[in-house]
Chains A and B, each alone.
Chain A
Amino acid sequence: MSRDRTLPGLAVATLVLLGVAAAAPGWMVFTLVVSLAQGLVVLGLMVLWRAGLMSFGQSLYYAVGGYTVGLINIQFGLSNALLLVLAAPAVAGLLAFLLGFLLARYRDIFFSMLTLAFAMILYGVLVKSSTLGSTDGFSILTPSFLGPHPGPDATQRLLTGLAALIALLAAALVHRYLKSTAGHLATAIRDNEIRVEYLGYSVHRAIHVKYVLAGILAGAGGAIVAMAIGHIDPEMAYWTTAGEFVFVAILAGAGSVAAPFLGAILFVVLRTYAAQYTPHLWHMVLGGTLLLFIVFLPDGVWSLFERACRPLKRRAPS
Chain B
Amino acid sequence: MTTTVAILVDGAVYASWLFLVALGLTLTFGVMKILNIAHGSFYAIGAYAAASAVGAYVQAGLSPAGGYLVMAGAAAIAGVVVGYGLERGLLRFMYGRDAVLVLLVTYAVFLILDDVMLLIWGANPYIAYQPDMLLGTSTVFTLPYPNYDLSLIAVAAVIGSGLWWALSRTRRGKMLLTVIHDREMSTFLGIDVAKVFTVTFTLGAVLGALGGALTAPIISVQPGIGAEVIVLAFAVVVIGGMGSIVGAAVGSLAAGFAHAAAVHLFPQAELFVIYALMSLVLIVRPQGLFGQAQPRKI
Q: Do A124 and B108 contact each other (CB < 8 Å), given the known contacts A102-B282, A105-B286, A281-B115?
A: no
CB-CB contacts below 8 Å: A37-53 with B: 52-53
B108 touches A287 (CB 8 A): yes
Q: CB within 8 A of B275: which of A118, A240, A282? A: A118
A106 to B269, CA, bound (A): 26
* Closest A residue, CB atoms, query B35: A109
Check if B271 sits within 8 Å of A127, measured CB to CB: yes
CB distance from A245 to the nearest CB of B (A): 12
Neighbouring B residues of A123 by C-beta, 8 Å = 271-272
Return chain B residues, CB-CB under 8 Å to A52: 98, 100
Chain A residue at minimum C-beta to C-beta distance from B122: A280
Query: Does A125 make an interface contact (CB < 8 A)?
Result: yes
Query: A194 with B104: in contact, given A117-B275, A283-B111 (CB under 8 Å)?
Result: no
Is B115's CB under 8 angstroms from A194's CB? no
Q: How far is the CA of A102 from the CA of B278 in the complex (A)?
A: 12
A113 at the interface (CB under 8 A from B): yes
Size band of the interface chain A makes with B: 35 or more
- What's the Cα separation between A122 and B272 when bound, in Å? 8
Instruction: Produce 1/0 per residue, A100-119, CB < 8 A to B.
Output: 00100110111011101110
Known: A108-B99, A112-B103, A246-B107. A280 touches B115 (CB 8 A): yes
Interface string of B166-178 (1 = CB under 8 A from A): 0000000000000
Is A189 an interface residue, CB under 8 A from the partner?
no
- Is A290 among interface residues, defined by CB-CB distance under 8 A? yes
Interface 9-mer from B126-134, B135-143, B204-212, B231-239? B231-239
Knowing A128-B268, A280-B118, say if A117 contacts B235 (CB, 8 Å).
yes
- Provide the bound-state CA to CA distance between A128 and B298, in Å: 46
A267 contacts B by Cβ under 8 Å:
no
A-B contact count (CB 8 A): 120
CA distance A193 to B296 in the complex (A): 9
Q: Which B92-122 residues have C-beta < 8 A from chain A?
A: 93, 98-101, 103-105, 107-112, 114-116, 118-119
B116 touches A117 (CB 8 A): no
* Distance of A52 Cα from B103 Cα, bound (Å): 13
CA distance A110 to B87 in the complex (A): 22
SS of B interface (majority): helix
Judge whether A121 and B105 touch: CB under 8 Å: no
Contacting pair A294 B108 (CB below 8 A):
yes
User: Assuming the A-B contacts A128-B270, A194-B296, are A117 and B278 also in contact, with contact meaning beta carbons closer than 8 angstroms in the complex?
Assistant: yes
Residues of B within 8 A of A150 (CB): none
Which of B275, B276, B298 has the most chain A CB atoms inside 10 A of its CB?
B275
Contacts of A192 in B (CB 8 A): 297-298
Contacts of A280 in B (CB 8 A): 115, 118-119
CB of B283 within 8 Å of the partner chain: yes
Measured between alpha carbons, how far is A107 from B103 in the docked complex, in Å?
13
In the complex, chain A residues whose CB is within 8 Å of the CB of B99: 108-109
- Interface residue B220 (Cβ < 8 Å from any Cβ of A): no
- Name B254-298 residues within 8 Å CB distance of A: 267-272, 275-276, 278-279, 282-283, 286, 296-298
Give B186 Cβ to nearest chain A Cβ, in Å: 22
Contact A286 B272 (CB under 8 A): no
Cβ of A30 under 8 Å from chain B = no
Q: Chain A's nearest CB lies how many Å from the CB of B124?
A: 13
Chain A residues with CB below 8 A from B107, complex form: 243, 246, 287, 290
Find out whether the CB atom of A240 lies under 8 angstroms from the CB atom of B227: yes
A127 to B235, CA, bound (A): 19
Interfacial chain A residues near B115, Cβ < 8 Å: 280-284, 287
A108 CA to B268 CA, complexed, in Å: 32
> Is A250 close to B, CB under 8 A?
yes
Q: How far is the CA of A54 from the CA of B282 in the complex (A)?
A: 19
Selected from B104, B110, B286, B297, the residue in CB contact (under 8 A) with A294 is: B104
Q: Across the interface, name the chain B residue whose C-beta is closest to A128.
A: B268
Among A114, A120, A288, the residue within 8 A (CB) of B112 is: A288
- Chain B residues in the interface with A (C-beta under 8 A): 35, 90, 93, 98-101, 103-105, 107-112, 114-116, 118-119, 227, 231, 234-235, 238, 267-272, 275-276, 278-279, 282-283, 286, 296-298
Provide a sorted-by-A list of 12 A–B residue pairs whose CB atoms are within 8 angstroms.
Answer: A106-B286, A108-B100, A117-B231, A117-B238, A117-B278, A125-B271, A240-B227, A243-B107, A281-B115, A284-B112, A284-B115, A287-B112
Contact residues of A with B, CB < 8 Å? 52-54, 102, 105-106, 108-110, 112-114, 116-118, 120-125, 127-129, 192-195, 239-240, 243, 246, 250, 280-284, 286-288, 290-291, 294-295, 298
**Nearest 3 pairs between A and B by C-beta?**
A124-B272, A124-B271, A287-B111
